[in-house]
């Protein structure tokens, strides 16, 4: 337990329905990422890539209030990629995101990670400002095509944790 939340690794068999319910509550993110407010297979798609580490963020009473997805040693050794940090709208604005990131970045550095990357989708101004505020810098913009063929743009951002990367 960290403050008022805890984190647990998710797996497809046990958690897909719970994760899909979170996606359904986060229709604002789904709209930005997939071009419509409903994406009924979003959770299943998250579990497709075996390298993904998918962590659920739970409230003290055991409700899934967020998800954090990461890849280790991507795009290169000692760098990590955050594929997704999504919080239930009811959990936003309470400092969870910053606290989760602080704890996660400390853990990544302990694991030998020297930098973290994230892609922020066009239309996610609030997310973009959040990542900038916690130390990420723009690297480049590039086209992004979602699994349902929805096209948009993504800003790749990077945060140095330690050493030169």
Cβ neighbours of residue 112 closer than 8 Å, sequence gap 6 or more: 78
Per-residue pLDDT tens digits for 69-84: 999 999 899 999 999 9
> For residues 116 and 106, what is the distance between their CA atoms, to the nearest angstrom?
11
Helix axes 12-25 and 27-34, enclosed angle (nearest 10)? 90
pLDDT higher than threshold 50 for residue 1: no
pTM for this one?
0.91
Tell me how many degrees the CA angle 105-101-57 measures, rounded to the nearest 5: 120
> For residues 134 and 46, what is the distance between their CA atoms, to the nearest angstrom?
25
Going by pLDDT thresholds of 50, 70 and 90, the confidence category of residue 165 is very low
Please give the C-alpha separations between residue 49 and each of 15, 22, 52, 152, in angstroms, as whole numbers: 15, 19, 6, 22
Going by pLDDT thresholds of 50, 70 and 90, the confidence category of residue 3 is low
Per-residue pLDDT tens digits for 10-36: 999 999 999 999 999 999 999 999 999
């Amino acid at each position: 337990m960290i403050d008022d939340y805890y984190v647990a690794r998710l797996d497809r068999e046990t958690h897909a329905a719970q994760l899909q319910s979170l996606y359904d509550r986060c229709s604002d993110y789904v709209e930005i990422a997939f071009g419509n407010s409903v994406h009924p297979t979003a959770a299943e798609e998250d579990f497709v890539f075996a390298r993904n580490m998918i962590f659920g963020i739970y409230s003290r009473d055991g409700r899934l209030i967020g998800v954090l997805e990461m890849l280790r040693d991507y795009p290169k050794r000692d760098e990590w990629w955050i594929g997704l940090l999504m919080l239930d709208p009811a959990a936003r604005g309470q400092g969870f995101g910053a606290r989760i990131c602080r704890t996660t970045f400390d853990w990544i550095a302990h694991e030998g990670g020297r930098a973290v990357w994230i892609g922020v989708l066009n239309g996610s101004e609030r997310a973009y400002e959040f990542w900038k505020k916690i130390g990420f810098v723009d690297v480049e913009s590039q086209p992004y095509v979602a699994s349902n063929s929805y096209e948009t743009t993504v800003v790749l951002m990077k945060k140095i944790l330690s050493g030169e990367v």
